[in-house]
Structure 1
Amino acid sequence: MSLFNIAGCSTAPYGSKHSYLTQIIEPQNQNTVFHWVDVLLQQTRDQRIVPPRAAYNFAMPMVAGFLAANAILKDYQEPFGVGEGPKDADPEVAYGVAFSIAAAEVFQQPFLREKKAFLDGFPDSVSKTSGIDWGKKVGRHVVKMRNNDGAEPSEVNYYLGRYKRRQDSLKWSPTGTFYSADPGPAFGSFDRGLFPGHGQIKPWSMRSGSQFRATEFYDPASPEFADEFDTIRRLGAADSSIRTADQSEIALFWEDGPWGVTPPGHFIYIAMQVLQQQATTFNELARSLALIGMTQCDASIAAWDTKYFFDVIRPESAIRQRAEKFRNPDPRVKRQSHWKSYIPTPPFPAYTSGHSTFGAAGAEMIALLQDTDRVSITGRSPDVVIWPQLEGVTRHWRSLSDIAEENGMSRLYGGVHWELDHTQAMAAGRGIAKQAFNDFFQRRV
């Protein structure tokens, strides 16, 4: 595996405070795969990409890089019709070139300096030239393969008739009023719903965007809804008297708002931290990140399909504005016009939780790749610019499933999700990961 010189990259190199690898990867474990994934994470942060689009952007480059390398090394089966690569091609060179071409497509950023700095780390040879040519071919193949996948028209905040709006008291509406936290972020109110068509993008591993769609949400007049309403009203309020200090820290730790790697990026970050300890080949690592990238993208599609299919109101709107319209006989379902969630309420429907879907898919896939859920790990927040309270904060987990559960529950502690949002999303995320692991990139025999 090459130890290439990346000092010329416009995206900051390993060892820079701007690189996420510095936070989690030991110098001896730095490699081509981690380098290029770090480029994606930094670009997501620098362009302030929102979570569902970030998840979409992660998949194509990771898959393209793996397909280019694997076609040369021939370790795993693949269903995308790439074919066999040239025997004399350098697989790492091919990986980086294919990766950069796909990344340029999804981020609309050429990455010319990043690619040049990467290639300068390899001595000129027939193998390098062949790897460049093959990487270009595979990168373009993957970009063409994803043409007309529904992503482009879904990158607007208009419904365009894709999902029918519900008309009862649970109908989602933009949350107001103005949100701000000191210290922390400030957001305008009454934004349009984010990407109503994202759930109809063509998935990578699912049969359709609705394959893992959740079951129907609670009747707003039911005892179950009354329990949820009261729980979040008390637990998720900005001034909650029952939320513990640890739960408050968890809510901020996993918030992963703008100006960072986003929730799907956070689990890719965790995956790199865990996978560096695994004795693995270059191609095994490329496959692992490709599977994680694919399933994070599909998690976004599944979550956004359920969100806009059911169109369910957020707790803050329900508690502040609409409690009496639910006609729930439970006296706990009452309006509190000054109630405010502890963390910002996102501008799109509640049901189900994107955070929980991303977390369950990511943790389950890492566990399947590791062949164990029992991974003891200490982690920090990748980005603290929004919540300076997290500076120096680390959290410790004894299993990957604990990580996913804490991530999902953070949204309840923050007051932005119902508990059913979390439990249904966790089931979907785990299902997405299991199916992809069993159906894609099996070892050749």
Structure 2
Amino acid sequence: MESHPSSWVAGAALALAVSFAVAPAGPVVAGTLVTQWNDVLMESVRRSKIGPPMVARAIGEVHTCGFDAWAMYDDVAVSTRFGGTLRRPPAERTLANKQKAFSYAEYRALLDLFPGQAGYIRDQMIAFGYDPDDASSDPTTPQGIGNLCANAVTSFREHDGSNQLGDLHAGPYSDYTGYVPVNTPDQINDPNRWQPLRFSDGLGGFVVPGYVGPHWGNVIPFALTSSSQFRPGPPASYPSGRYKSQAEHVLHLNAHLDDREKVIAEYWADGPRSELPPGHWTLFAEVVSDRDHHTFDQDVELFFIVGNAVFDAGVAVWEAKRFYDSERPITAIRFLEAGKTIHAYVPFEGRRKIRGEDWLPYQPATFITPPFPEYPSGHSAFSAAGAEILKRFTGSDYFGGSVTVAAGSSKAEPGFAPKQPVTLSWTTFSEAADEAGMSRRLGGIHFEQGDLDSRRLGRQVGAAVWDKAMTYIQGTAGQPSVARRAQPDAPLPVAATSTEFAIRSIAPNPSRSDVHIDFALPRGGRARVGVFDVQGREVARIADRTFDAGIHRVTWSRSAGRVRAGMYFVRVEALEQHRVKRVAIVN
């Protein structure tokens, strides 16, 4: 449900997000059905009132529902709730059936999460050519598979600690842990703790938003063993020198803002009525999908992993935010500089002297600082986790994205900044993620430590989610994970147990060198092993001969023929069946 009592959208008449218009390397196409459903999800988010961790959870949940339904028509993948028990026979594993099952699953998930947008979501289902009233639970039909998978995931998530239904405390997603802030909008009782703020509602009045998600560390994550698994910190505390120096650093950045830095601060803000930071990275995933001409199957996997990466990042960050309950820069600076004259950037006026207790970050007056503690940064973790997944999925950190922001389009200084169009560009996913983290320092929202520590946290979360997602994609979830991803250049051991027909492991993956492929045959016979690119062209024939029953290793020798960096598929054909796994090549 999308309402939230703490008014994440206070002052939402002035949205913070700059229009998203990344230029991919090649011509933009309509996209796969996966990216089209992601657009429906993002529009539902923009129309809603939920905060960042709730948005991240919605992304993970919707795309998990879609993945689970799709997995029932895949040769290998298993769903997160049913495993492979509902898998359909080979003759039914058509693209049309996959798309239909996927669509019904995502449709049902969206209705569950955004009931206030039911009319819009229903219209999109019709536009995609499906009957929104078909509630079949027949597991022999794609719509039945989709509905069953969505119901299994949403039923589980409705009781995952998020309080989505408001059954733990009145109001969807409301706090049920009894959090009470130490400070008030008018009184700093502890300069190390979070302070609620009073600011304009854009209509002549004032609002004091409550803490968004103090209970979020109780939410069951996708891959993390606990919400505190990668908890960083602690942050600097008063009266240490670090506490004072980090405040001075934010003051210095603010006082010397130029047009490019203002654009960076606003482009990445992703505030109310936008897709918010987690959604921003699904839009980057859409760009990658177009750029690399993804198939439907590839996008099902990509959005499943990206969605759960931002979901777990939100759980991890919000657990740490509650644990430390740390002050925002506005609280620290006003506390330290009260009664003093300081230099600051004043919108429409530039750098000038003001009273320390009057300092404001570079944000619109209707949303001067997000309503939750500073440490660690959500932007930094969401972005680092998203970048980590995109890098691993594509086999390269290369991005090549850019956005041009029009002159005068600032929300903080409309008609005034920037003076000229400003183009932001990112060669790599990591550059984009780092800039997203830096943007919060430029905007006066975060300290340096909150940014940098959270970048590390996001990468750790991304790696954990990748590994967990691979167990579902590769069909090993719930089994000893012999096919779990290895670190680059670290070959996986050959297991000596089960001889079910399967590709047991591909290592190293990603690879800069020779690739070792382990596969198992339950009985002897002819097997053909090949490598195919994303267009389905065979780029290497590794083996085509008779093998005995058991586990075998063949090697794709990279020296035999150079191939471009990117995503490839290893296909093993034997016993009138085939198995496929992905391998990323980096040069």
Which structure shows the higher helix fraction? 1
Q: Distance in 1 between matches of 2:277 and 2:377?
A: 11
Q: Distance in 2 between matches of 1:98 and 1:341?
A: 42
Q: Which amino acid is 1:118 matched to?
A: F
C-alpha offsets along residues 146-196 of structure 1, whole Å, 9 cap, x if unaligned?
23101124845546247996984301111345487xxxx999443211121
Shift of 1:408: 0.5
Q: Which residue of 2 aligns with 1:319?
A: 333
Q: Which residue of 2 aligns with 1:267?
A: 281
Q: 1:192 aligns with which of 200, 210, 227?
A: 210
Q: Which residue of 2 aligns with 1:140?
A: 151
Q: Distance in 1 between matches of 2:457 and 2:266?
A: 24
Q: Which amino acid is 2:124 matched to?
A: E
Shift of 1:28: 3.5
Q: Which stretches in structure 2 are left out of the alignment for 5+ residues?
A: 1-18, 132-137, 184-188, 339-353, 476-502, 504-587
Q: How does 1:80-91 map onto structure 2 within 5 Å?
A: 80-83=81-84, 84-87=86-89, 88=92, 90-91=97-98
C-alpha offsets along residues 257-293 of structure 1, whole Å, 9 cap, x if unaligned?
1111111111111111122222543222101101111
Q: Scaled by the length of structure 2, what TM-score is found?
A: 0.63
Q: 2:122 aligns with which of 112, 117, 126?
A: 112
Higher deviation after alignment, 57-66 or 69-78: 69-78
Q: 1:232 aligns with which of 227, 247, 250?
A: 250
Q: Which residue of 2 aligns with 1:284?
A: 298
Q: Which amino acid is 1:115 matched to?
A: M
Contact in 2 for aligned 1:175/1:316 (Cα 8 Å) = no
Bigger relative contact order, structure 1 or 2, given CA contacts below 8 A and separation 6+?
1
Shift of 1:102: 1.0
Q: Distance in 1 between matches of 2:377 and 2:273?
A: 20
Contact in 2 for aligned 1:57/1:107 (Cα 8 Å) = no
Q: Secondary structure at the match of 1:58?
A: helix
Q: Distance in 2 between matches of 1:46 and 1:381?
A: 23
C-alpha offsets along residues 218-268 of structure 1, whole Å, 9 cap, x if unaligned?
1322222222011112213xxx2x223211110011111111111111111
- For the aligned residue pairs, the C-alpha RMSD in angstroms reads 3.3
Determine which structure has more spread, i.e. the larger CA radius of gyration: 2
Q: Which amino acid is 1:300 matched to?
A: G
Q: How does 1:30-41 map onto structure 2 within 5 Å?
A: 30-41=31-42
User: Number of residues paired by the alignment?
Assistant: 405
Contact in 1 for aligned 2:268/2:436 (Cα 8 Å) = yes
Q: Distance in 2 between matches of 1:79 and 1:133?
A: 17
Change (3 A) 1:244 1:20: closer
Q: Which amino acid is 2:123 matched to?
A: R
C-alpha offsets along residues 70-108 of structure 1, whole Å, 9 cap, x if unaligned?
211234344432423323260100000011111111112
Q: How does 1:37-186 map onto structure 2 within 5 Å?
A: 37-83=38-84, 84-87=86-89, 88=92, 90-108=97-115, 109-110=117-118, 111-120=121-130, 130-152=141-163, 153=168, 155-156=172-173, 158=175, 160-161=177-178, 168-176=190-198, 178=200
Q: Scaled by the length of structure 1, what TM-score is found?
A: 0.82
Q: Distance in 1 between matches of 2:375 and 2:204?
A: 24
Q: 1:429 aligns with which of 458, 473, 477?
A: 458
Change (3 A) 1:93 1:412: same
Contact in 2 for aligned 1:42/1:261 (Cα 8 Å) = yes
Q: Distance in 2 between matches of 1:107 and 1:393?
A: 35
Q: Which stretches in structure 1 are left out of the alignment for 5+ residues?
A: 1-18, 122-126, 325-333
Which structure shows the higher strand fraction? 2
Q: Distance in 2 between matches of 1:404 and 1:22?
A: 14
Q: Distance in 2 between matches of 1:186 and 1:256?
A: 24
Contact in 1 for aligned 2:379/2:436 (Cα 8 Å) = yes
Q: Secondary structure at the match of 1:119?
A: coil
Contact in 2 for aligned 1:308/1:349 (Cα 8 Å) = yes
Q: Which residue of 2 aligns with 1:443?
A: 474
Q: Distance in 1 between matches of 2:40 and 2:291?
A: 21
**Identical columns (%):** 26
